[in-house]
């Protein structure tokens, strides 16, 4: 991994002088994150995926600016010297944020899962209080995967799956089967009729920072969009309740703690509860679609391996426990 900082052009756009601070890479691939530290302040410089349009990044920045005026510890993007909050270069779009203090809670703590559920429910209440917004450009509801992959140059999810099948037929077939199964389930269970508002969609441990027992940083709005709030609940289970990335199953105790915490602040109605298993599957497919888009533009040679892991391990693990989620949500 290269440790080269962003160009002087990017730093100058945010009035950052590399001679007066220290820039070091947190990660550089597939997207970039750099810390910039001076004697007086700390910043985080982010490079967005080239699959993100200027309109999509602008939508996110407007949301962050709104939330920064609430009680939520959300860092609003810093304006460039010309006024906008992002700078576009041949290497991608960059944005600068004040660094958030704190550290994540233990990813295995059941108490932390319950806290996460409570916080997500409160965040949904905050989202509901904001003025209505249009859908994020380049995004859609969880089953609208065509919109998610179109920035890669493919027109439909099925087209991209067919292309994958040219070299990985079994993997592509498994993806298409899961997609068809999920669409039927979501349609029968009334997902399309649910009210929609802003959702976070990446409410996992690393995106919640704490200090002295208080939430001091809420991160990870790259996937925020407009959807049914229960999709966010399902995404939280998908992100936080797998026992490992290569999967030894879903942790039902963790899921119960997360759902119990959520229900302390927001009631899930019977229609939402019924949809949780299908929306956990939809979230996994959302991640698959995101990976397919990255694969289509040649951004990583490890994507096929990651897709195989999801299809061979995580979907079967979901099948093993899906019937329990409804009971856990009501326990």
Q: Are residues 266 and 155 in the same domain?
A: yes
Q: Are residues 276 and 245 in the same domain?
A: yes
Q: Are residues 234 and 304 in the same domain?
A: yes
**Where residue 177 sits, what CATH number does that domain have?**
3.90.1200.10
Residue that the structure tokens 């001091």 belong to: 216
Q: Is 253 part of any domain?
A: yes
Q: Are residues 296 and 321 in the same domain?
A: yes
Q: Are residues 139 and 171 in the same domain?
A: yes
Q: Is 105 part of any domain?
A: no
Which helix or strand (DSSP H or E) is residue 323 part of? helix 315-330
Q: Are residues 190 and 232 in the same domain?
A: yes
Choose the final residue of a domain: 39, 68, 98. Answer: 98
Q: Which domain holds residue 308?
A: 110-330
Encoding tokens for residue 173? 């077939």
pLDDT in tens, the chain (331 residues): 444 568 888 888 998 877 666 666 666 555 788 888 877 889 999 999 888 999 999 999 999 999 999 999 999 999 998 889 999 988 789 999 999 999 999 988 999 999 999 999 999 999 999 999 999 999 999 999 999 999 999 999 999 999 999 999 999 999 999 999 999 999 999 999 999 999 999 999 999 999 999 999 999 999 999 999 999 999 999 988 887 655 568 999 999 999 999 999 999 999 999 999 999 999 999 999 999 999 998 866 689 999 999 999 999 999 999 988 878 877 6
Q: Is 321 part of any domain?
A: yes
What is residue 188's predicted lDDT score, i.e. its pLDDT?
97
Alpha helices (runs of H) in the chain, residue ranges in sequence order: 8-13, 54-67, 110-129, 145-149, 157-165, 169-188, 229-240, 252-263, 270-296, 303-309, 315-330
Q: Are residues 159 and 295 in the same domain?
A: yes
Q: Are residues 191 and 157 in the same domain?
A: yes
Residue 19 to residue 46: CA distance in whole angstroms: 20
What is residue 3's predicted lDDT score, i.e. its pLDDT?
46
Q: Are residues 118 and 246 in the same domain?
A: yes
Residue that the structure tokens 């319950």 belong to: 114
Q: Is 60 part of any domain?
A: yes
Q: Are residues 116 and 170 in the same domain?
A: yes
Q: Which of 74, 85, 86 is nearest to 127 (CA)?
A: 74
**Where residue 25 sits, what CATH number does that domain have?**
3.30.200.20
Q: Is 1 part of any domain?
A: no
Residue 86 to residue 270: CA distance in whole angstroms: 42
Q: Are residues 15 and 149 in the same domain?
A: no
Residue 112 to residue 48: CA distance in whole angstroms: 29
Q: Is 163 part of any domain?
A: yes
Q: Are residues 131 and 273 in the same domain?
A: yes
Domains contained in the chain, number: 2
Q: Is 228 part of any domain?
A: yes
What is residue 2's predicted lDDT score, i.e. its pLDDT?
46
What is residue 21's predicted lDDT score, i.e. its pLDDT?
66
């Amino acid at each position: 991994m290269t440790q080269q900082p962003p160009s002087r052009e990017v730093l100058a756009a945010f009035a950052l002088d590399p001679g007066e601070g220290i820039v070091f890479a947190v990660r550089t691939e597939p997207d970039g994150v750099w810390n910039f530290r001076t004697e007086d302040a700390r910043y985080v410089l982010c490079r967005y995926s080239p699959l993100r349009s200027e309109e999509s990044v602008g939508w996110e920045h407007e949301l962050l600016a709104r939330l920064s005026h609430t009680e939520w510890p959300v860092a609003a993007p810093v304006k460039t010297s010309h006024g906008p909050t992002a700078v576009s270069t041949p290497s991608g779009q960059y944005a600068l944020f004040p660094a958030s203090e704190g550290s994540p809670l233990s990813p295995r703590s059941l108490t932390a899962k319950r806290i996460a559920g409570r916080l997500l429910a409160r965040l949904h209440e905050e989202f509901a209080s904001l003025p209505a917004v249009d859908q994020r450009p380049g995004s859609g509801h969880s089953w609208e995967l065509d919109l998610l992959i179109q920035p890669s140059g493919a027109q439909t999810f099925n087209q991209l799956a067919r292309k994958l099948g040219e070299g990985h037929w079994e993997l592509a077939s498994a993806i298409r089967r899961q997609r068809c199964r999920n669409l039927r389930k979501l349609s029968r269970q009334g997902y399309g009729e649910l009210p929609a508002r802003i959702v976070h969609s990446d409410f996992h441990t690393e995106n919640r920072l704490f200090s002295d027992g208080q939430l001091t940083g809420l991160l990870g709005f790259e996937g925020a969009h407009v959807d049914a709030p229960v999709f966010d609940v399902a995404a939280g289970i998908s992100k936080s309740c797998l026992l490992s990335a290569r999967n030894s199953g879903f942790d039902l105790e963790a899921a119960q703690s997360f759902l119990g915490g959520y229900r302390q602040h927001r009631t899930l109605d019977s229609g939402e509860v019924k949809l949780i298993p299908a929306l956990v599957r939809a979230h996994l497919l959302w991640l698959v679609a995101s990976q397919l888009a990255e694969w289509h533009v040649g951004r990583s040679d490890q994507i096929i391996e990651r897709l195989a892991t999801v299809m061979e391990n995580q979907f079967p693990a979901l099948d093993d426990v899906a019937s329990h989620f409804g009971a856990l949500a009501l326990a």
